[in-house]
Amino acid sequence: MSRTLPDFPWDSLAPDAAIARAHPDGIVDLSVGTPVDPVSDFVRAALAGPAAAEPGYPTTHGPASLREAIAGALRRRFGVVTDPAAVLPTIGSKELVAWLPTLLGLGAGDLVVIPELAYPTYEVGARLAGAEWVRADSTVALGPRRPRLVWLNSPSNPTGRVLPAAHLRKVVDWARERGAVVASDECYLSLAGGTDAVSVLHPDVCGGSAEGLLAVHSMSKSSNLAGYRAGFVTGEPALVASLLEVRKHAGMMVPRPVQAAMQAAASDDTHVAEQAAVYARRRAVLWPALEAAGLTIEHSEAGLYLWATAGRPSRLTVRDLATQGVLVAPGDFYGPAGARHVRVALTASDERIASAAARLRRA
């Protein structure tokens, strides 16, 4: 498969963004899942603390205290037990997603399975490695083809769909039978609310063994650290060790002050719960407003987005909403199956969400 990359999807929204910005009450940009809420004071203090004065290089693996804090957070928040030595900080989660096939040694002739509706970077990662990819339900029978890597994403971007433990276990068993690595993108797991979303490393899914499994996490959504580029991966110790070795050679290191901020964020659960409550409140405002405007919401059980359709091509819906000053992302960004849907992010201030809801109700 060619390494030629597709155009960056959001660049195509420029005309619609211009229309939305012209609205008398200004634009409500719900097209990108970028946090707008403040970083907690104690996290900012850690960023500017003693680590900021250290002149030397950070370690790729991070200090033991950081890895122990992350392992503790996984245990408290998600019921996952992982060896701190098998925790590896990453420069945000998107970087790891994009380079994972390459870091695992995939190349020409290797196959990556991505969800039918998927974050575009899964495909980009396969392209960068020169591998092939297929959009499919992860349990699909591929005949004689044996994938090397299978991506999972629950809660999903873009749909907010939650895959229950039984489904995830089925995928894990299927992949293990074929010798494939399962990488689970779990950056929205902290926004699961009262759903049955679980990590791929939960005992109900993995049977108590991390064999062949990687869980990718981000602090962008849970702690508003998108600007810090704070993420991590954990899972089978041997797999994580192999990623660490390559990343050492490549100089893929999280800055030491960011590592300190990550440790602070991982050590506190209160701010994570508070942020999840903020998004739940915005969801409750926006969902009925979209329905009042004639859209149907599908899935959207958890995560950061509402997956909506007006029963027509997504670009027409994007343009219609832009005339009301509300900018959303077309579903075709995430695969052909999204051609009649739009993704609506909850990442705007309470005031902007209320403004959007008012406009939609008048539509």
| Inter-residue contact 31 to 10 (CB < 8 Å) | yes
Supply the pLDDT for residue 138.
45
What the block records as the tokens of 14 is 């420029």
Could you give the domains of the chain? 9-39+271-362 (3.90.1150.10), 43-267 (3.40.640.10)
pTM of the model: 0.94
Lookup result for tokens 């494939």: 180
Dist CA 188 CA 77 (whole Å):
13
φ and ψ of 86, to 5 deg: -100, 25
Which residues neighbour 187 within 8 Å (Cβ) at sequence distance 6 or greater?
93, 157, 216, 217, 218, 220, 221, 231
Dist CA 54 CA 42 (whole Å):
19
Dist CA 176 CA 168 (whole Å):
12
Supply the pLDDT for residue 2.
44
Dist CA 131 CA 170 (whole Å):
25
Supply the pLDDT for residue 3.
59
Bridge partner list, 345: 305
Supply the pLDDT for residue 181.
98
Supply the pLDDT for residue 9.
82
Supply the pLDDT for residue 162.
96
CA 128 to chain centre: 19
- Number of residues written out for the chain: 363
Which residues neighbour 208 within 8 Å (Cβ) at sequence distance 6 or greater?
none
Phi-psi sector, 102: left (phi>0), alpha (psi -120 to 50), beta: alpha
Rounded mean pLDDT for each run of 10 residues along the chain, 363 residues in total:
71 94 96 95 96 94 98 98 98 97 96 94 96 76 79 96 96 94 97 94 97 98 97 98 97 97 98 97 97 97 96 97 97 95 97 96 86
